[in-house]
Structure 1
């Protein structure tokens, strides 16, 4: 959390500018205002806005200093969570967290008398047994073991269920499922979490519980069957209207099932909530990472990422670019130069989203007009991505010499990227393995070295598939789209058809997380392949799906990648005839 005074005077409880819904957990306090601030802190914390959550818990303490659960809340909100494990705290942030959380939970232990509250407070104390650094993984395990016992005794309390599931998820954040096999990972408690949450979802009270719904979406999004979380996602939408993350989370499922329009709509509502918070709240806590993630799509980097990503998959250039414009206004240099937490390390990747959109939509001349940052070393990722896009643009525009120069500049720039730069949870060096193979494949293709070109593009696909799960994915344009488009250009229709079918999820050959159902690019490419292969019955079955996808797009789509220069005739895009 940011540097927050240990004692905060509570403002007027009725002037709070956010609508957080009606959920309440009745705690041991005689102060109505303390109860209100506690509920607000809890909802914000369930919504991964731990900075505002901690602030509300401190207001609760101001209203009733003897309220044990208000002090518990400060410790709960100030520590690690599913999206911010101990490893993600910088040194200054870690020191603050250990001090504040240990102090708060120790005070809570002194005050607690109600049996349930005593049990929860003693459990959380195991996560913060000291102000000094220690074995954080052991602390998390011990906390979860204590929560096992609390759950066994108090499992009828819906918040105990939520906190227990949260403690289990924190043991292996974002490592609950093996993406390639679909099985739970050995070091996780995935099956236990699934049982706990699905049992809870049979209870009517869970259907209005933001924590249960939120955690279930996180559990299932990496699973082989993310669609099972659709009911939870639909329940969570607008449950707490001004908590941006709750409006955003359903889009994780929307994207995985190919409902790009709904993903965009959910995130624009999320952005509305976030911008309301930015108007009244703080711009310097970890939540800003989520806010930008909502603009893009991810793992949680911001609400802006998702409309960009969904706009790219649905062929909506205006949605994607308009959102880039809004996001860039939030990425001021003063903000990115904040040292703790080190904003530039986590958020520079958002500066490159404009480039990704321009590549997706084939704006080669626009790319070549983009300026480089004034401080290229500070913006080392942005600089490197721009060299990639320029190499691609020159190659496609038949300026081979310039393309090869840009590839060398890309390699030189890549070597200068700080190892601390991440597009959470992937390091930029890992992501750029996808990029370099893509450049190599494109340049070899223009040389006529097709065998080598396709080897490199397959390497790009492999590197992309092996990135750590994130929404949006660490590399925002699937390399399969370029690979299949160029295979089609070379007349390798069967290989292109197979690749498009995999991308769309029409076969089980790919992990669920790297399929892109309903995306207009692969739908168009697959339909073209079916026609060329005279598989007209299959093409007719696909045609309504493609017609809808093309209607949503705001550009003319003639190939899955603008790198393909041999386009089908306009009258062939819907050419299935009986």
Structure 2
């Protein structure tokens, strides 16, 4: 049994949000509010601890038991299907028992609450809305066993919350109405988590309650106190981010209202950056995610379980998002500093990844390969070649990291023109990739799917260095296709767009129109790509597109002037010289490694060798070599 902690004990700064519940104990009220705030900040373990403290201070507080049931149940990022068997069984049992205790406390004939601090018994009337949400919670946990069909249970709970919303979601107590709206929207979103929208059409996904979610959230945003409600603002960002309009005024206003609202909750600092990335505000994404990592470090300093819990997924996600934004902004120092901080944020990675419930290796191991992607992005070939594989005894545990490291080293060898070494590392990469289990994830993707992008890209770049250009174009186009078709994640699970390499090499070989088309798509200048696959205002594609316009004689036109303005702004924030959208381009690699042009001076990137940019004719279908399709059957 945990030790009871006074609410006055020093604690994190969680901002102004509160929700009054039926209890005579001020400490219970404080701990409940903390728990609910952490729920909305997606730190469910800390929320459960707070609700447990609320129960210790007032065991008869019905809403404290309700909160505990809520905290251990499924959520938008962790539906029932993502629980491992042990976790699912334990959570179902704890949730069921807490929900039953909440119902018993709410339905007691003599509704009393014992004030442990004061030593007196006082009568506390349980409010009708509290009875209603407690009743709905019974539909989420029935029988104390994991649900056989989570979809049925999720829909049943949402229907129950819908009935609560009909009664209490409008008028009356404004704070209660707002809270009920948030709880109902959350229940609806958990019917089809991360699948509210059809990304290809922009319409609501089939069988998803998207329109109803939007209606509930839109109405709630018009209620008093909406601009200070972390749960509402958080859910709205998740609702709109996969929609066709993540850049709507309402969406961006919501993001701005959420910034800093819960000072010590890292995930709340991070959430607005989902939209920052989608609209190409890379600097704001850097700032928001940096603030998230600082808040997380404050949280970690006071967390009893330290780094060995599922919230570490959220902490690593915030570092990763910071690194991702810095990469798109061309800020090498920021990215490398964040990688180092992320790696140090877990004292013992082997201990963390060896935890089996939850299966931390499946959730978190992918983050350990991040350094490789940063080194590739910034053309740091020598550093890549100096990067060791994980120790042999750890390579099964660190299977994604091992494969990713081999991939990076193979690219570095290819960039330096050492094809035999590149082929050897490529063989090692493919062998190690074959050992990655399908359970390993990169956010909403399977790690195997992101490694398939790596496989196609690596094959394409090696073919390019061997001047097998038709094969190179085929393979690089395949990498672009695989990258584009990854499931939605924010940030995207593949850290450097395959399109950046493909376009840079097209441009280097003189295929200017083709390269320009790829850059236009990446920047979202046209609508060839759906919103999540675009990267507006990123310095790499701007650099490449500006060069295309210059070579096409269009740099002085309206579009050329606009691109030049955006490029100048982006270059002003970058900390390196950028000559191409990928350092795999031979001329870009050579100029950067020689320190030409100021900012790049002193970078140790190795050097490339090749044809110096002469145009090489490819066949119309891009295959050319008769054996290319056969050799690429594995792609």
1:347 alignment partner in structure 2: 364
Matched, 1:207 2:227: yes
Matched, 1:317 2:339: no
Structure 2 CA distance, aligned partners of 1:314 and 1:252? 16
Structure 1 CA distance, aligned partners of 2:224 and 2:247? 20
The alignment partner of 1:463 has SS state of: helix
Matched, 1:150 2:144: no
- Which of residues 196, 202, 208 is equivalent to 1:182? 202
The Cα of 1:15 is off from its aligned counterpart by 1.7
- Which of residues 130, 149, 167 is equivalent to 2:187? 167
TM alignment of 1:168-567, pairs within 5 A: 168-228=188-248, 229-281=251-303, 282=305, 283-296=307-320, 306-331=321-346, 332=348, 333-374=350-391, 375-535=394-554, 536-537=556-557, 538-567=559-588
Structure 2 CA distance, aligned partners of 1:382 and 1:22? 41
Structure 2 CA distance, aligned partners of 1:10 and 1:125? 27
Structure 1 CA distance, aligned partners of 2:207 and 2:463? 42
The alignment partner of 1:509 has SS state of: coil
1:66 alignment partner in structure 2: 60
Structure 2 CA distance, aligned partners of 1:176 and 1:145? 17
The Cα of 1:10 is off from its aligned counterpart by 2.7
- Which of residues 117, 130, 139 is equivalent to 1:126? 139
Deviations 1:448-470 (A, max 9, x none): 12122111111111111111111
Structure 2 CA distance, aligned partners of 1:456 and 1:204? 55
The Cα of 1:366 is off from its aligned counterpart by 0.8
The alignment partner of 1:470 has SS state of: coil
Structure 2 CA distance, aligned partners of 1:207 and 1:22? 11
CA contact (8 A) 2:178 2:223 kept: no
The alignment partner of 1:204 has SS state of: coil
After the TM superposition, which of the residue ranges 540-549 and 98-107 deviates more from structure 2?
Answer: 540-549
The alignment partner of 1:14 has SS state of: coil
Deviations 1:220-247 (A, max 9, x none): 1111111121111110111111111111
The alignment partner of 1:23 has SS state of: coil
Task: Return 5+ residue gaps in structure 2 as ranges.
Answer: 107-125, 171-176, 598-635
Deviations 1:11-51 (A, max 9, x none): 12112320111111111111111111110000000110010
Task: Return 5+ residue gaps in structure 1 as ranges.
Answer: 1-6, 297-305, 572-578
The alignment partner of 2:532 has SS state of: helix
Structure 2 CA distance, aligned partners of 1:262 and 1:541? 21
Structure 2 CA distance, aligned partners of 1:196 and 1:428? 35
After the TM superposition, which of the residue ranges 41-50 and 326-335 deviates more from structure 2?
Answer: 326-335
TM-score (norm 1): 0.94
The alignment partner of 1:13 has SS state of: coil
Structure 1 CA distance, aligned partners of 2:584 and 2:468? 16
1:116 alignment partner in structure 2: 129
Matched, 1:93 2:87: yes
The alignment partner of 1:388 has SS state of: helix
Structure 2 CA distance, aligned partners of 1:146 and 1:294? 34
Structure 1 CA distance, aligned partners of 2:220 and 2:440? 39
- Which of residues 77, 82, 101 is equivalent to 1:83? 77
CA contact (8 A) 2:41 2:265 kept: yes
Higher Rg of the two aligned structures = 2
The Cα of 1:445 is off from its aligned counterpart by 1.1
The alignment partner of 1:116 has SS state of: helix
Structure 2 CA distance, aligned partners of 1:25 and 1:202? 18
TM-score (norm 2): 0.86
Deviations 1:176-205 (A, max 9, x none): 111111111112111111111111112231
Structure 2 CA distance, aligned partners of 1:114 and 1:19? 28
Structure 1 CA distance, aligned partners of 2:463 and 2:337? 34
Structure 1 CA distance, aligned partners of 2:208 and 2:76? 13
RMSD (CA atoms): 1.4
After the TM superposition, which of the residue ranges 267-276 and 352-361 deviates more from structure 2?
Answer: 267-276
